[in-house]
């Protein structure tokens, strides 16, 4: 997740993609990092896309009312 925090500076113009395809679990600290990445991206008017987010993470985002702050993509094959 440290890479995710640094991703805001490396994303393509206007968009940060966080590839979660190999992530099996996200705890509250991981969720906090995603929120931090989203906040930093929002300062630059960028969007954050969660690629390959698990159903568990998506459910956690719904419970915390954060699902509308991220874009989602299926995992890369």
pLDDT along the chain (77 residues), means of 10: 52 81 90 94 93 94 96 90
Query: 52 with 73: CB under 8 angstroms?
Result: yes
What does pTM read for this prediction? 0.80
Cα 41-42-48 angle, rounded to 5 deg: 55
**CA atoms of 19 and 47, how far apart (whole Å):** 14
Give pLDDT, residue 58: 94
pLDDT at 12: 53
Report the domain count for the chain. 1
Q: What pLDDT was estimated at residue 30? A: 92
Domain housing 53: 2-73
For residue 34, the domain's CATH number is 3.30.750.24
* pLDDT at site 76: 85
**Using an 8 Å Cβ cutoff, are 46 and 8 in contact?**
yes
Q: Which of 48, 40, 46, 53 is nearest to 71 (CA)?
A: 48
């Amino acid at each position: 997740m440290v890479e995710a925090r640094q991703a805001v500076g490396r994303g393509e113009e206007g968009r940060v993609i966080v590839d979660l395809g190999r992530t099996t679990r996200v705890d509250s600290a991981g969720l906090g990092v995603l929120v931090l990445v989203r906040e930093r991206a929002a300062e630059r008017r960028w969007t954050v896309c969660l690629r390959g987010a698990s159903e568990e993470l998506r459910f956690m985002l719904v419970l915390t009312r954060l699902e509308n702050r991220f874009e989602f993509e299926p995992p890369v094959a």
